Structure 1
Amino acid sequence: MMTDPIADMLTRIRNAALARHDRTEVPASKMKQAVAEILKSEGYIADVRPSESNSGKLTIVLKYGRDRSSAIDGVRRVSRPGRRVYVKHDRIPRVLSGLGISILSTSHGLMSDRDARKNKLGGELLCEVW
């Protein structure tokens, strides 16, 4: 039984990027789909789609540079099942002075730190990506 499916997804992405795989598959859920869509819109992954072989999985296509360096340098899970971290809109931390992003779960759904600050929404700080 998995206690933290978001951390599992982030670890699969991190491991696949370190191993220079083209894609990775994760078990599907609405929250994982939303996190992957934010990563795609921010330019950290190339694509996210339902898996062709198994309908219960998401295929995440990773993004690399010309020298085969990954677009994702690091990922950190902030709020865990054992320790939830909530922030107000004016207390959302900047990741690497704005070079990375935070993903928050707000009352209006999942969004990046930039969108949450713009909409003046706080919430649960799920993870940081740089």
Structure 2
Amino acid sequence: MANTDPISDMLTRIRNACEKRHQTTNIPLSRMNRSIAKVLEQEGFIDQFSEAGEGVQKHLVLSLKYSGKQKVPTIRSVQRVSKPGLRIYTNRRDLPKVLGGLGVAIISTSKGVMSDRDARKEGVGGEVLCYVY
């Protein structure tokens, strides 16, 4: 069965892996998934990511980040905003702040996928992909 929303699939895999306290999780490789993983790494939500596999079987391996002895995940919540059935766009003046700036909104802009902070610096708006905090 074809996956109609690969971004939601990625976010669900991350959410499930964090809930089960896994060290890594595998995500099918796409340019969008790679860009989102890059933003998550830059914002400090994951340790690192790498590509593995060959050909059609290529996937991203995300190394998840935890804090403390009880392994509290740094990603507490991941929420998909813009969906295939209802796209959510915002201009540069109305970019959302997640938890008053403690979280991150991942935005797909004409200059690439970036966090809401970077989009404000660049002065661009775009499609709000998800909230992470």
Q: Please indicate the TM-score interval, normalised by the length of the shorter structure.
A: over 0.9
Deviations 1:11-36 (A, max 9, x none): 00000000000000011011100100
The equivalences for 1:85-104 within 5 A come to 85-104=88-107
- 1:6 matched residue in structure 2: 7
The equivalences for 1:109-124 within 5 A come to 109-124=112-127
- Taking the aligned partners of 1:108 and 1:69, their CA distance within structure 2 comes to 34
Q: Which amino acid aligns with 2:38?
A: E
1:9 Cα deviation (Å)? 0.3
Percent of paired sites with the same residue? 48
Alignment pair present for 1:36 and 2:37: yes
1:121 Cα deviation (Å)? 0.1
The two structures have a TM-score, normalised by structure 2, of 0.94
- 1:57 matched residue in structure 2: 59
- Taking the aligned partners of 2:83 and 2:6, their CA distance within structure 1 comes to 10
Listed as ranges, the gaps of 5+ residues in structure 1 are: none
- Taking the aligned partners of 1:119 and 1:26, their CA distance within structure 2 comes to 29
The two structures have a TM-score, normalised by structure 1, of 0.97
Provide the secondary structure at the position in 2 that maps to 1:21. coil
Provide the secondary structure at the position in 1 that maps to 2:72. coil
Which runs of structure 1 show a deviation greater than 4 angstroms over 4 or more consecutive aligned residues? Answer: none
CA RMSD, Structure 1 to Structure 2 (Å):
0.6
Task: Give the total of aligned pairs.
Answer: 128
- Taking the aligned partners of 2:10 and 2:81, their CA distance within structure 1 comes to 14
The equivalences for 1:66-81 within 5 A come to 66=68, 67-81=70-84
- 2:26 matched residue in structure 1: 25
Listed as ranges, the gaps of 5+ residues in structure 2 are: none
- Taking the aligned partners of 1:16 and 1:33, their CA distance within structure 2 comes to 18
